[in-house]
Amino acid sequence: VIIIYMEEKKSEKIKKERKQRNVMVHPFLTKITVRIVFVLILAGLFCGGGFFAFKRISKVTLSTKHAMVEQQLSYCQELVTAKYRYSDIITLKKSAGFSKSYSIIKYTGLLRVGIADFTDISFKISNNGKALILHVPQAEVLGNDLVRQEVFDEKQSIFVPISTQEIFNEIDDARRTTAEEMLADGDLLNEARDYAVKILIQFLMLMGFDEVTVE
């Protein structure tokens, strides 16, 4: 009987110690769990906040670059990328009965070709802000100027005089015809545009873009 009683006492003691141990372990595990959850929440908030902050900064950077490119392009209203000097001789004659007048004039013209308005250039910046895609319009004639003129020979009759305005009109018609012939095959316009593209690419690369392509 004494032995049985001692065993029961011992068993009750062991159960009591286990219960006390469990009571001590549970609060400890609860504290660790709460801390882990708290850390995870903070990490989530930090990552989320960092992501949105990065998106906002990236958006601001792209907007800044877009405004910078737009501003730089607006500074150059017109870009002449090709000049072609040409000369020709015209003869203007007038007659009435036995009266005759004529003028032989040599003139020099200058044809200017390029991009008329840089604000017509559209562009798109990549999401990382390192690449730029350009759409450059076709080159066009920016001017066909009379540089020089000189009279080689002339004879004026008071009955059929050749006026200065008639000479200018004849030169203008000749210059217009010459320009149309020079531009007929399109090579001059293409060369002017290609040169404009090269200038734009070099200019924009200096602004910090790693890649500039043209459509």
Lowest-pLDDT choice from 23-27, 130-134, 159-163: 23-27
**How far, in Å, CA of 192 to CA of 68, rounded?**
25
**Which pLDDT does position 58 carry in this prediction?**
41
Nearest alpha-carbon partner for 188 in 77, 78, 80, 84: 84
User: Is residue 124 scored above 80 in pLDDT?
Assistant: yes
User: Is residue 40 scored above 60 in pLDDT?
Assistant: no
pLDDT tier, 134 (very low <50, low <70, confident <90, very high otherwise):
confident
User: Is residue 98 scored above 90 in pLDDT?
Assistant: no
pLDDT tens-digit profile of 72-90? 777 777 788 888 999 999 9
Could you say which DSSP state residue 165 is in?
H
pLDDT tens-digit profile of 141-154? 999 999 998 888 88
**Which pLDDT does position 25 carry in this prediction?**
45
For residues 114 and 102, is the Cβ–Cβ distance under 8 A? no
In Å, how far are 9, 90, 128, 160, 178 from 103, measured between CA atoms? Answer: 142, 8, 66, 12, 20
Please state whether the predicted TM-score (pTM) of the whole model is above 0.85: no
**Which pLDDT does position 110 carry in this prediction?**
93
Continuous H helices in the chain: 2-75, 164-183, 187-206
**Which pLDDT does position 172 carry in this prediction?**
92
pLDDT tens-digit profile of 4-35? 444 555 555 555 555 554 444 445 445 555 55
**Which pLDDT does position 158 carry in this prediction?**
82
User: How many Cα neighbours within 13 Å face the side chain of 211?
Assistant: 10
Nearest alpha-carbon partner for 150 in 171, 134, 165: 171
Q: How do 122-125 and 211-214 pair as beta strands?
A: unpaired
Q: Detail the DSSP E strand segments found in 66-130.
A: 79-96, 99-115, 122-125
